[in-house]
Amino acid sequence: MRKATFFALIIAALCLNLISCKSKSDESNITTLTTDNFVSQTKQGVVMVDFWATWCMPCKAMAPVIDEIAGQTKGKVKVGKVDIDANGPLANQFAIQGIPAILIFKDGKLMETFVGVQSKAALVNALSKYVELP
């Protein structure tokens, strides 16, 4: 009986984890960035890019913040995500040493870099230097 309860708890935890970690990218203003589309997606306007990985717990903690900012800044700031495991050359190009790493671009030029978990206020404050936000 103990084994059955233990496995039921593990399965429940896994199910909850899958539900809570589900990306809202399809519902929001978040673009998946790759080595193929990075330059074209960041060359115009203000773009906030989240370098992350599926195994990174701090990245998972940042995901809801990134989603909120994407919704709040829709039409003013493009928000993109780069999976560093699938796009190693991009991570190397920007010397990403720790994740999450959040980079802000304006018209293709890197303006600011944040490493580690950041508050929504800190990121919105940084973005507001480059675009007028509501």
Q: Enumerate the active-site residues.
A: 56, 59
Unique residue bearing structure tokens 């203003």:
29
Binning the chain into helix, strand and coil, the percentages to the nearest 5 are 40, 20, 35
Unique residue bearing structure tokens 């059955």:
4
Distance CA 54, CA 68 (A): 19
Unique residue bearing structure tokens 């909850």:
16
